[in-house]
Chain A
Amino acid sequence: QQQVKQSPQSLIVQKGGISIINCAYENTAFDYFPWYQQFPGKGPALLIAIRPDVSEKKEGRFTISFNKSAKQFSLHIMDSQPGDSATYFCAASMFVSGSRLTFGEGTQLTVNP
């Protein structure tokens, strides 16, 4: 019930293409869904986050789509750039547990020039 399932495990996209990473969860008590970006040898950094009262949130080239009924959310990276090559993690948390996050397994994104 606490798991967050992430796919694909790895993704290769051409420069200028759209990168799509998907996550699914079981626990309907989750009410905060952040995405983190991690470069090799560094800690994850918050990229964008959404709450379940909205279906989409966009920040620059990054968009989260949220489907509450399907218990799924996804990250879309438009006009993908080689600098976007990193590992991306989705996560989820519940208000009642404070900021304790449950992470997906991660997606290694490679954007070819």
Chain B
Amino acid sequence: DGGITQSPKYLFRKEGQNVTLSCEQNLNHDAMYWYRQDPGQGLRLIYYSQIVNDFQKGDIAEGYSVSREKKESFPLTVTSAQKNPTAFYLCASSTRVKSNQPQHFGDGTRLSIL
């Protein structure tokens, strides 16, 4: 079955540590997205990528970094510069970047501070 796989499901970060969240899709989608979800704030866009080797900042990119070396993969690194990283992180993908196509989501990674 096609879909989006996020790993790990739970992740703990120590102070000053960088952590990387994995997102893999086998839907052959062009575009991929990272969102942060906090209670009562909906989903906020961190970064998105429309094609391989290209990505753009979203609304809350500070303290995060991404790469898009393969179409299937869009890992997110939460750096030590992100002072409040505790949240639920969601990865999504969609097809045909320049048209309004639905986004398909993974089941998220919950990140907590130790």
Contacts and interface: CB of A to CB of B under 8 A. Distances in A.
A98 interface: yes
Determine the main DSSP class of A at the interface with B: loop
A105 B40 contact: yes
Nearest to B99: A95
A104 B31 CA distance: 21
B102 A95 contact: no
Contact of B99 (A34, A43, A98, A104): A98
A45 B92 CA distance: 10
A45 B101 CA distance: 13
A86 B100 CA distance: 25
Contact of B41 (A49, A94, A105): A105
Contacts of B105: 36, 43-45
A36 B33 CA distance: 16
A98 B97 contact: yes
Instruction: Find the residue from A32, A89, A98 having the highest chain B CB count within 10 A.
Output: A98
B90 A44 contact: yes
B63 interface: no
B103 interface: yes
Chain A's interface size range is 20 to 34
Given A44-B43, A98-B50, A99-B97, A34 B102 contact: yes
A54 to B, nearest CB: 14
Interface in A56-95: 89, 93-95
B25 interface: no
B42 A104 contact: yes
A19 interface: no
Nearest to A101: B103
12 contacts: A32-B100, A34-B102, A43-B6, A43-B90, A43-B92, A49-B102, A89-B43, A95-B99, A99-B31, A99-B99, A103-B42, A105-B41
Given A43-B90, A43-B105, 15 more contacts: A42-B108, A43-B4, A43-B107, A44-B105, A46-B103, A46-B104, A49-B102, A93-B100, A95-B99, A99-B97, A99-B100, A100-B45, A101-B43, A101-B103, A106-B40
